[in-house]
Amino acid sequence: MPRARPLLDFGQENGIAPPLPPPPSYADAHDDEEEKDAPPRKWFHYAPTCVMVLLLLSPHPSWLFVLVNYHFRVLRDPWLVARHLAVSYTLAILCFCSLITIIVRNPGYPNAKSDVVGRGGAGGGAGDDDVDITQALLADDIDDISSGAFCRKCWAPKPPRTHHCKHCGRCILKMGKSSGHHHCAWLGYKCLGHRTYTSFLHFLACVTLLAMYIGGVCVSAVYYAFENPLSIDDQTPLHEMSLALAGIIVTMIIGPFLIYHMYLVTTNQTTLEHLSPFLLLRELPPLPPQHASDRHRLSDPPLEHELSFSQRRLVRDAHGYIRVYDMGWRSNWAQILGWERPFGWVNRVVLGGGGKGDGTSFPRNPKADELLTRLASELVDADKVH
């Protein structure tokens, strides 16, 4: 009698189950530039950007009025007018070029497929710098694990200097600030990352130079109007004073911000790395052996809430002289403004562009590794004393 066919057939042939299909990869599910799970953007998210554009365009009617009535009709110097037009509108066009680049270009998203291969796939050990699925599930806050971590929100490896943005719904390479603080509403409600930070510097520099140039020209024109009140009409000095005041205010606001970011580039730091000393805990090597009787036994790597007062002071003091990625000011600026392709300088001058490299790995300061090893020993020693 032939064997009866079972009521449930799971596709088995000769008692052997077919192989299960491979799970969907993170990279295949995130081929789009924008994260599907990110919160939708409303019209009011772009209102600050529209205000920014209006602020960039608002001085030009008064600027043209001053150039025609003062430089052309009073001074009768058409070459001076042409020079002012060339300089001012070149800087204005460069401002809009870098602004459009920031808005249109993605700030830099980790390539999950290449990161997995580089950390645990072919050619790499499975336990070098990565965090496996079990560790990711058991971790309290995976975002605070050492560099080369696994982002539980994106469910993908997270390269060094990468942080998760809750507004974008994904990780950003070399993100300038924490997720809630540098998703800039003034720049298209976009993050600033590895692929747009150079354009951000370009934008700050062009805005500052434009404000300084128009303000300086108009201050000189106002001085001439006070010295020669009968040689000029009544309306032109009002335009000159308003432009001079606006130029001074913008220079005083944007100028220090530009200087601060120039300092960050010179020392090869992001804003988050500069303002958050306890990010050094991610870079620490394995801690020396700790005794079981220690009052404050530290995790490896240590977490901020585990540190005592003396240990916190050690980390804060070390943050003042440990620069993990500082390779010298020339190399640091080359990482931001350098180029690899022929005529790459044109892209830097016109658009700013992105940083050099892929944003997933950065050269480390060898002196910093020695200082981090000493800091790890000091943290354990302080833990023993206190």
Q: Which residues are catalytic?
A: 184
What is the rounded distance in angstroms from the CA atom of residue 264 to the CA atom of residue 260? 6
For the chain, the 3-state helix, strand and coil shares in percent, each to the nearest 5, are 55, 5, 40
* In the chain, beta strands by DSSP E: 149-151, 156-158, 163-165, 170-172, 183-184, 190-191
What is the rounded distance in angstroms from the CA atom of residue 337 to the CA atom of residue 179? 25
What is the rounded distance in angstroms from the CA atom of residue 184 to the CA atom of residue 275? 18
- 3-class DSSP state for residue 148? coil
- Residue 314: CA atoms inside 13 Å, Cβ hemisphere, count? 19
For residue 202, give both structure tokens. Answer: 């370009």
| Residue position matching structure tokens 């931001």 | 336
For residue 303, give both structure tokens. Answer: 């977490």
Residue 264: CB atoms within 10 Å: 19
Environment class of residue 221 by beta-carbon count within 10 Å: exposed (0-12), middle (13-18) or buried (19+)? buried
